[in-house]
Amino acid sequence: MALPKGEIKLNKTFYVTTPIYYPSGKFHIGTAYTTIFADVLKTYKKINGYDARMLTGLDEHGQKIEGVAKQNGVTPQEYVDEKATEAKKLWKLLDVDYDDFIRTTEERHTEKVEKIFEKFLKNNDIYKGEYEGLYCTPCESFWTESQLIDGKCPDCQREVKKMKEEAYFFNMKKYVDKLLKFYDENPNFIEPISRKNEIINNFIKPGLEDLCVTRTTFDWGVKVKSDPKHVVYVWLDALTNYITSLGYMSDDDSLFKKYWPADVQLVGKDIIRFHAIYWPIFLIALDLPLPKKIYAHGWFMMKDGKMSKSKGNVIYPDSLVDRYGVDAVRYFLIRELPYGQDGIFTPEGFVDRYNYDLCNDLGNLLNRTIGMINKYFDGEVKDPKDYSNELSQGLNNDIDKYIKDMINHMDDLHLNFALSDIWNIISRTNKYIDETMPWVLYKEKKEDELKLVMSDLVESLRKIAILIYPFMKNTSKEILKQLGNDKYDIKFENIYNKRDFTLNKVVSKGEPIFVRLDPQEEIAYIKSKM
């Protein structure tokens, strides 16, 4: 069966962004999720021949950060400097290969925010007024009475307080029609579609309010150049990071020209409003193209609800990586969160996935294969010459089908399903061993058939290694190494290549890639880290 070659487009660019994180605490698995998701997409595109770029960074301004720094007895700048080092270390630990890490306190960003603000003023997109509203300090958001839930902030459910101040406003109403037209013409702009309906029904239909874009009640932010007692509201400051990092409005804007508009902007469900309404409107006002897609993922929850320090139920990625390795953590996080919905982290779930998926399914397939080739052919994968065998064709047809499914799921951002597709290949290949019973073929000296089975197993594992690479880079390389392919160039298109017997020499029996965990012990360990 011929496979689609749709993904192989050389010299095409791909630009994916994560939100820039508030460095107000330690990063938990929820924050890690988006960043890993972005890295998986970027890596997938990269091995498909794209010139792929990923952006992440920190949102370092605002009242909240000012407050946390004070609590820690340091200046805001000292505080965010330390957090930036911490964040970069974490992304390295999680094998995240970002191309740029932007910090909103960097001059390359702040001076562009000043310029953008002045441009908006000049074009009458921003006007001066007075703001009186209900303010949620942790979220740095003003709300109207009708948006509150039980009198509290609809995002974080905390108390809001009445505040009044002179402020600048962005004239959102001016652009609403253009935004709605864009939504109409680009039905996949906001995904999942349910989020788009939410945005339209909850925020646009009731009448989009103009957005207050400055504050005078704190100091830690970009000052308005023409009126410096005002500090630019943290969301206007933050959202522009996606283009300032590419050199928008700077002397060298080649990256901006090359990568903008972004292909996918990833956000959590709580910040979709900012990305699906205000961000596109700012871009329309700047006369810039809009991103191709905003994808809002769900949240990692705990059994007892949201992760929160006060509940003592927060799980941090580094404590998992230290004990189980980065690939197991990346695998779990991506596999466990369904498209657009929330997922639950439980220590039991983590240990089960490790033992069943990684150890039993994948690890055993590799061990058995390597073991058999060593036993039957002294570690050499032999050319079977004759491929006309029904069981072999059955296996390969199924694998081709699962690869197609995986490609479709990657394109649709259903990364959890893409992993299930790969695991279908793993299960199917394990089943092939049961079907062909190589130990019987060996006993009965059916050497040609045995050669075919062994080469099928190696081929399947080679494909699996390429497919899992975006998700689990180390495991992928380790599998290829154990198959005797350590110099292998990981490119997606190699999946379609014919087997190359000079590459598939099994050198020796390698170490197991995942070792079975003792559930009781490990569940207790994970709980102790919460």
Chain residues in the site for ligand MSP (CB under 6 A): 19-22, 30-31, 33-34, 59, 238-239, 241, 267-268, 270-271, 299-300, 307
Q: What span, in angstroms and rounded, lies between the C-alpha atoms of 290 and 175?
A: 13
Place of tokens 């002397």: 251
Residues 317, 27: contact at Cβ < 8 Å?
Answer: yes
Shorter beta-carbon distance to ligand MSP: residue 101 or 376: 101
From the CB of 211, what's the least distance to ligand MSP, in Å? Answer: 14
Q: What span, in angstroms and rounded, lies between the C-alpha atoms of 468 and 457?
A: 16
- Check residue 265 and give left, alpha or beta (phi > 0: left; psi -120 to 50: alpha): beta
> What is the number of other CB atoms lying within 10 angstroms of the CB of residue 455?
20
Q: What angle do CA 497, 467, 13 make, to 5 degrees?
A: 85
* Alpha-carbon distances, residue 233 vs 141, 265, 437 (angstroms): 9, 21, 67
407 bridge partner residues: none
From the CB of 267, what's the least distance to ligand MSP, in Å? Answer: 5
From the CB of 56, what's the least distance to ligand MSP, in Å? Answer: 10
Q: What span, in angstroms and rounded, lies between the C-alpha atoms of 5 and 383?
A: 26
Closest CA to 17 of 47, 57, 71: 57
Helix (H, G, I), strand (E, B) or coil at 211: strand
Residues 25, 309: contact at Cβ < 8 Å?
Answer: yes
**Which residues neighbour 479 within 8 Å (Cβ) at sequence distance 6 or greater?**
366, 461, 464, 465, 468, 513
Shorter beta-carbon distance to ligand MSP: residue 306 or 368: 306
Shorter beta-carbon distance to ligand MSP: residue 18 or 355: 18
Q: What span, in angstroms and rounded, lies between the C-alpha atoms of 346 and 415?
A: 20
Shorter beta-carbon distance to ligand MSP: residue 329 or 503: 329
From the CB of 260, what's the least distance to ligand MSP, in Å? Answer: 15
> What is the number of other CB atoms lying within 10 angstroms of the CB of residue 194?
13
From the CB of 359, what's the least distance to ligand MSP, in Å? Answer: 26
Shorter beta-carbon distance to ligand MSP: residue 29 or 461: 29
From the CB of 414, what's the least distance to ligand MSP, in Å? Answer: 17
From the CB of 43, what's the least distance to ligand MSP, in Å? Answer: 20
From the CB of 140, what's the least distance to ligand MSP, in Å? Answer: 9
Closest CA to 453 of 519, 366, 395: 395
Shorter beta-carbon distance to ligand MSP: residue 248 or 300: 300
From the CB of 356, what's the least distance to ligand MSP, in Å? Answer: 24
From the CB of 268, what's the least distance to ligand MSP, in Å? Answer: 2
From the CB of 283, what's the least distance to ligand MSP, in Å? Answer: 13
Shorter beta-carbon distance to ligand MSP: residue 109 or 451: 109
Strand (E) or helix (H) holding 260? none
From the CB of 50, what's the least distance to ligand MSP, in Å? Answer: 24
Shorter beta-carbon distance to ligand MSP: residue 247 or 363: 247
Shorter beta-carbon distance to ligand MSP: residue 316 or 488: 316
Q: What span, in angstroms and rounded, lies between the C-alpha atoms of 468 and 481?
A: 14
From the CB of 138, what's the least distance to ligand MSP, in Å? Answer: 9
Closest CA to 13 of 47, 53, 43, 56: 53
Shorter beta-carbon distance to ligand MSP: residue 268 or 438: 268
> What is the number of other CB atoms lying within 10 angstroms of the CB of residue 289?
11
From the CB of 424, what's the least distance to ligand MSP, in Å? Answer: 26
Residues 118, 158: contact at Cβ < 8 Å?
Answer: no
Residues 283, 328: contact at Cβ < 8 Å?
Answer: no
Shorter beta-carbon distance to ligand MSP: residue 130 or 304: 304
Q: What span, in angstroms and rounded, lies between the C-alpha atoms of 390 and 61?
A: 64
Q: What angle do CA 99, 104, 105 make, to 5 degrees?
A: 120
Indicate the residue whose CB is closest to ligand MSP. 268
Q: Residue 182, exposed/middle/buried by CB under 10 A (0-12, 13-18, 19+)?
A: middle
Shorter beta-carbon distance to ligand MSP: residue 125 or 336: 336
* Reduced 3-state DSSP string for 73-105: CCCHHHHHHHHHHHHHHHHHHCCCCCCEEEECC
Shorter beta-carbon distance to ligand MSP: residue 306 or 477: 306
Strand (E) or helix (H) holding 220? none
Residues 429, 457: contact at Cβ < 8 Å?
Answer: yes
